[in-house]
Amino acid sequence: NAGVTQTPKFRVLKTGQSMTLLCAQDMNHEYMYWYRQDPGMGLRLIHYSVGEGTTAKGEVPDGYNVSRLKKQNFLLGLESAAPSQTSVYFCASSPEGFGNTIYFGEGSWLTVV
Amino acid sequence: DQQVKQNSPSLSVQEGRISILNCDYTNSMFDYFLWYKKYPAEGPTFLISISSIKDKNEDGRFTVFLNKSAKHLSLHIVPSQPGDSAVYFCAASDTGRRALTFGSGTRLQVQP
């Protein structure tokens, strides 16, 4: 039971570099999300998708882009990484939107130096 | 401005005693509330939820209470066990189901 899988789990970037975080889910869920977790801030929604080919902005979208070309995958891109983007990133999915429970991946630790 | 607040960053209780974790919210449009549990180096996992049409929901050792007039909910764990030691996040969604807003979390330590 893979559930929600994120890659990579750890990454160190230099300021200005770009990278993509990949999220894959095998539960045939329609909704997928990217959150970031920072100390004292809880989890904040970056972007989400309500189905294949759709994306929408969350609470803290600036500096990130996303794509949902396939139902099972949700990619989070950082075009020009900044130290403020040092965080733990969690991908999640759910069958019917936020009212239902959502299932999280194990997290990706990103450090921007 | 945080719409979901967990004002206690940490809580320590003895094994076998009750743990009470609190959460306050400010958005009156929130009508569905969830608690998630998170162990280090793992993603959060769903624990229990409650709809605004109820004031209590139980699942084994876990009970969530909702006081809509006070915009307050609490999670009771009884009896507490060392394996319950984790960070607990309160979360809320509104009637449009467009966003799940999380609190900042409370770290629970259950002492053997």
CA dist., res. B90 & res. B101, Å (int): 8
Distances (CA, A) of B68 to A27, A43, B31, B33, B92: 34, 23, 9, 11, 13
Which of B 53-112 lie inside 8 A of A, CB atoms? Answer: 89, 93, 97-105
The pLDDT of residue A40 is 79
Q: Cβ of A58 and B99 within 8 Å?
A: yes
**Mean pLDDT for chain A overall:** 93
Pairs of residues, one from chain A and one from chain B, whose beta carbons lie less than 8 Å apart: 53
CA distance A95 to chain B (A): 13
Main-chain dihedrals φ then ψ at residue A83, nearest 5 degrees: -55, -30
The pLDDT of residue B98 is 61
The pLDDT of residue A1 is 57
**Mean pLDDT for chain B overall:** 93
CA dist., res. B33 & res. B65, Å (int): 10
